[in-house]
Structure 1
Amino acid sequence: MPIHFGTDGWRAVIGEDFTFENVRLVAQAISDYLKENAQSPDAPIVIGFDTRFLSDRFAIAVSEVLAANDLRVILSRADCATPVVAYAVRALRAQAGIMITASHNPPRYSGIKLKNANGASASPSETARVEEKLRAVSAPKIRAYADALKAGMITRTNFFPIYFQHIQQVVNLQTIGQGQWRVVADPMYGAGRGYLRSILTAAGCEVLEIRGEMNPGFGGIHPEPIEKYLFALMAAVRDHHSDIGLATDGDADRIGAVDDAGNFIDPHFIFALTLRYLVDVRKMRGAVVKTISTTQMINLLAEKYALPLHETPVGFNHIADLMQEHDVLMGGEESGGITIRGHVPMGDGILMGLLLMEMMSHYGKGLRELCDELRAELGAFYYARRDLRTKPFSKKDLVTRLKNDAPATMAGLQVVSVNDRDGVKYLFEDSSWLLIRPSGTEPVLRVYSEARSPELVEELLTQGVALSDAMRNGS
């Protein structure tokens, strides 16, 4: 069975490909890779796990293999968020981190995320070497959990205290407390449960946590903080007369928000609002990194503040690479993975929720008012995406045709540039854009658009689907 690491780890269906046998094989390949490439071979490996079915048992299975390979393991005592594990890697000077999670994917999936010594996702070259080791694995080494625990090769700990100590250096909890906000925290049954509730309560907020109990089926939803899965949060904010709702995905590396009226606030606005706050109020400067499918508001703000801007393919690993190489103030993507300088180079929904609260307290304004101010400054922006399941097609040929035969106008707007960094993106005269991007892992065509009105977004999406259909069918 081929096991392949995507942009952020290996994911598969539990009981089909994600089995104890395969998990142990992957753990052995990671062990072989680390023993050959680690700069600090005596440093430990940090391991965490989410709330999915058998995640804790899979984490123990991985730990048993690493311990059998003479690699010291620090294993979380309970389910924990991926950014907490990533920070623990740094704080404990570990050589790597492993997280058992399928992030925002449906409940039937599980996965393994591999973190490097900086807490960032392992690069494609690093995971390629793990896959190379995997092809050579015949049988994993295993040391019984109880024996490894007794020998000190596996230790259990709670990573939250060191994360909380760090967060207090990155976020001003005293400022947050001055707002005396009423907050609804929604971890969506995921590994982010308890974090926002604990931190915001300590800061002086009144916090209601919903969907925080252990539920490996995620209540029948996908643990992804997008509008169609957040109706429970919207209702809770309205019913409890709260000031804001904050949602994190299955492993808490993504953020979504709801304003006091129960309106969904997408990551595009969260990214833009936070960037403006960091520069205007905290007086921070540095480069900004965004993926190709992220709002043009970031481009306008980077231009306003004269900040270097980098646009990458989809996937936070591309952002992390730049954050480890350059002086980057902030990086983020449309899915809600966002982080700032001084934190780990990976998305952190917990951090971003706290920064929103700090921002609201500083301005003395709610999220709805702050979004209105941003629209007044930059103009209105609306965003939508369509995912189209298709028959298999040549992705390379489609991208070539979309680029070479680009239309001069779409929906009455002049095309001013064409970008083929990841799929094909048409940028229009008014900063609207359309992105047609084949999935890298399945026969799915993703069509994204951002424009100045909801009607124009829908028109661009419709024309984008028609254009891609025509190009794939050779007409």
Structure 2
Amino acid sequence: MDDIAFGTDGWRATLDVFTDERVRIVGQAVADTIDGGPLVVGYDARPTSRGFAESLADVLTANGIDCVLPERDTPTPVVAWAARDGEFASALMVTASHNPPEYNGVKLIGETGAPALPERTEAVATNLREPIASDERDNGSGAVTERDLLGPYLDHALGLVDADLSGLTVAYDAMYGSGRGVTDRLLEAAGAEVVRLHCETDPEFGGTPPEPTGPRLGKLIRTVETGEADIGVANDGDADRLGVVTPERGYLDPNRYFAAIADDLLGSDPGDVVRTVSTTFLLDRVAQAHGHSAHETAVGFKWVAQAMTDHDARVGGEESGGFGLRGHLPNKDGVLFALLTAAAERDERFDARVDRLLATHGEVVQDRVSVDCPDDRKDAVLAALEGEIPDEVVGAAVERVVTVDGFKLLLSDGSWLLVRPSGTEPKLRVYAESSSSRRVKAILAAGESLVEPLV
């Protein structure tokens, strides 16, 4: 049980650790701490995921809890929507998201469709025990049924986003994940012509982790740059994240994408925005231009979801490509945002919109590096860092230090430096944002020099 460790988004591990025995232990802890049922137990396209989902359902039903399994592997946001829209007490999702094929995991989702908050995760983590044996079962056992979750979700999405995509060609890269046959189907239902890439299953994900970042989207970039499509979208393995490709920029930096999609969304339905501490200040300027505010949270979509609810925000997101929409889910949804992206492209080309925003609000560049740091050293390093905050960084005075998540140094020239612990790897993340790539590199180097001696 010591090998079951919950992080920022559930429990994730390599398959030598993420075993059926341990999955069943987690299932028992969920059964012991859940307030009633039934539950949705979803699963992604990894070869092991359906079996793990069945094991979770087996333990839950042994404890008298009814369970629903999807008819096929299903995106996390579809499972989250079922939890919010249906009769379910909560949901579990078997997925390792964008991790390599040798991983799997399980996410905890609340009845609102939001990621579980720490108190819920901690309740599961502190109640881990062996599942009840088969001979302990009685006539009160729950039932497992299968259900189509895609149809209701797609109907809802088409009703929520009033988009006529006729005449628009969208290239869609499923990265061999659970978005295949879902995101492309939604885009076609709205009238788009869809060029499909990697829309079949592959246990090795084509030899690269299913993470929709620039270096892994070469074919999608070529498809858009050669004019075969007007815009390109890609999902990660469980389709809760989105990557976007444009004709002029190729892979569109998620920070700039977030600012651009927020600009479009606030133009049609006003409201505040929510961003994580590692996400661009460009978003704040866009929100202010529309007469609204930006709210900052710690990294992790559970915090974004909570702040979206607290502030009735129109949109929330993070620089890693996860975005949520008011009136839909307090959770990230790469399927719905693919549709919103295509609709926004019809209103104004993303390249033109980004050009306009940068011309209005100033050039913004962001990057990050990682510093190796054992998990058991992270707290000590951050404690030591508190006493080492400099008065200036690369010639700019430190005007304020934000401690929402790690240490974020706000500099007098509008730049910032952030140091925070990774929630998934034995590393510290160092981020910087400024007005030029050259200055970002200099600030990152200063951040590394500040942190490395403390590890």
TM-score class, shorter:
over 0.9
Contact kept? 2:315, 2:326, Cα under 8 Å: yes
- When residues 226 and 441 of structure 1 are mapped into structure 2, their CA distance, relative to the original with a 3 A threshold, is closer
Cα distance in 1 for partners of 2:133, 2:247 equals 54
| TM-score, normalised via structure 2 length | 0.94
How far the C-alpha of 1:109 sits from its partner, in A, is 0.6
Which AA in structure 2 matches 1:116? G
Q: Does 1:311 align with 2:311?
A: no
2:306 equivalent in structure 1: 321
**Superposition pairs of residues 150-165 of structure 1, within 5 angstroms:** 153-165=143-155
CA offsets per residue over residues 266-286 of structure 1, 9 Å max, x none? Answer: 221221112211222x1322x
Q: Which runs of 5+ in 2 are unaligned?
A: none
Cα distance in 2 for partners of 1:194, 1:237 equals 20
Aligned to 2:116, what secondary structure does the other structure show?
A: coil
How far the C-alpha of 1:469 sits from its partner, in A, is 2.1
How far the C-alpha of 1:227 sits from its partner, in A, is 1.4
Contact kept? 1:388, 1:446, Cα under 8 Å: yes
How far the C-alpha of 1:99 sits from its partner, in A, is 0.5
Task: Choose which of 133, 139, 151 in structure 1 pairs with 2:127.
Answer: 133
Contact kept? 1:295, 1:450, Cα under 8 Å: yes
Cα distance in 2 for partners of 1:441, 1:49 equals 20
Task: Choose which of 267, 272, 278 in structure 1 pairs with 2:265.
Answer: 278
- When residues 152 and 438 of structure 1 are mapped into structure 2, their CA distance, relative to the original with a 3 A threshold, is closer
Task: Choose which of 45, 56, 81 in structure 2 pairs with 1:62.
Answer: 56
Contact kept? 2:284, 2:293, Cα under 8 Å: no
- When residues 393 and 24 of structure 1 are mapped into structure 2, their CA distance, relative to the original with a 3 A threshold, is closer
1:383 equivalent in structure 2: 366
1:295 equivalent in structure 2: 280
Cα distance in 1 for partners of 2:134, 2:116 equals 24
1:19 equivalent in structure 2: 19
How far the C-alpha of 1:307 sits from its partner, in A, is 2.2
Task: Choose which of 325, 342, 349 in structure 2 pairs with 1:340.
Answer: 325
Cα distance in 1 for partners of 2:183, 2:262 equals 21
Cα distance in 2 for partners of 1:46, 1:204 equals 31
Which AA in structure 2 matches 1:140? I
How far the C-alpha of 1:442 sits from its partner, in A, is 4.2
Which AA in structure 1 matches 2:321? G
CA offsets per residue over residues 137-169 of structure 1, 9 Å max, x none? Answer: 2333559xxxx9xx9811111211111111123
- When residues 189 and 317 of structure 1 are mapped into structure 2, their CA distance, relative to the original with a 3 A threshold, is same
Cα distance in 2 for partners of 1:223, 1:186 equals 10
Contact kept? 1:225, 1:249, Cα under 8 Å: yes
2:252 equivalent in structure 1: 265
**Superposition pairs of residues 141-290 of structure 1, within 5 angstroms:** 141=133, 153-174=143-164, 176-177=165-166, 180-239=167-226, 241-261=228-248, 263-280=250-267, 282-285=268-271, 287-290=272-275
How far the C-alpha of 1:322 sits from its partner, in A, is 2.2
Which AA in structure 1 matches 2:208? I
- When residues 396 and 23 of structure 1 are mapped into structure 2, their CA distance, relative to the original with a 3 A threshold, is closer
RMSD of aligned alpha carbons:
2.1
CA offsets per residue over residues 1-54 of structure 1, 9 Å max, x none? Answer: 32122111111111x1111111111111111111xxx2xx3x421111101121
Of the structure 1 ranges 152-161 and 17-26, higher mean CA displacement relative to structure 2 is found in 152-161
Cα distance in 2 for partners of 1:201, 1:393 equals 49
Task: Choose which of 335, 338, 341 in structure 2 pairs with 1:353.
Answer: 338
How far the C-alpha of 1:83 sits from its partner, in A, is 0.3
Q: Does 1:374 align with 2:357?
A: yes
Of the structure 1 ranges 382-391 and 63-72, higher mean CA displacement relative to structure 2 is found in 382-391
How far the C-alpha of 1:380 sits from its partner, in A, is 1.1
Cα distance in 2 for partners of 1:60, 1:457 equals 48
Q: Percent identity?
A: 39
Aligned to 1:79, what secondary structure does the other structure show?
A: coil
- When residues 396 and 12 of structure 1 are mapped into structure 2, their CA distance, relative to the original with a 3 A threshold, is closer
Which AA in structure 2 matches 1:283? D
Cα distance in 2 for partners of 1:207, 1:391 equals 45
Q: Does 1:459 align with 2:445?
A: no
Q: Does 1:118 align with 2:112?
A: yes
- When residues 351 and 429 of structure 1 are mapped into structure 2, their CA distance, relative to the original with a 3 A threshold, is farther
Aligned to 1:241, what secondary structure does the other structure show?
A: coil
How far the C-alpha of 1:408 sits from its partner, in A, is 2.8
Of the structure 1 ranges 342-351 and 315-324, higher mean CA displacement relative to structure 2 is found in 315-324
Which AA in structure 2 matches 1:153? A
Cα distance in 1 for partners of 2:231, 2:335 equals 14
How far the C-alpha of 1:397 sits from its partner, in A, is 4.1
Q: Does 1:33 align with 2:39?
A: no
Aligned to 1:359, what secondary structure does the other structure show?
A: helix
Aligned to 1:125, what secondary structure does the other structure show?
A: helix
- When residues 432 and 170 of structure 1 are mapped into structure 2, their CA distance, relative to the original with a 3 A threshold, is farther
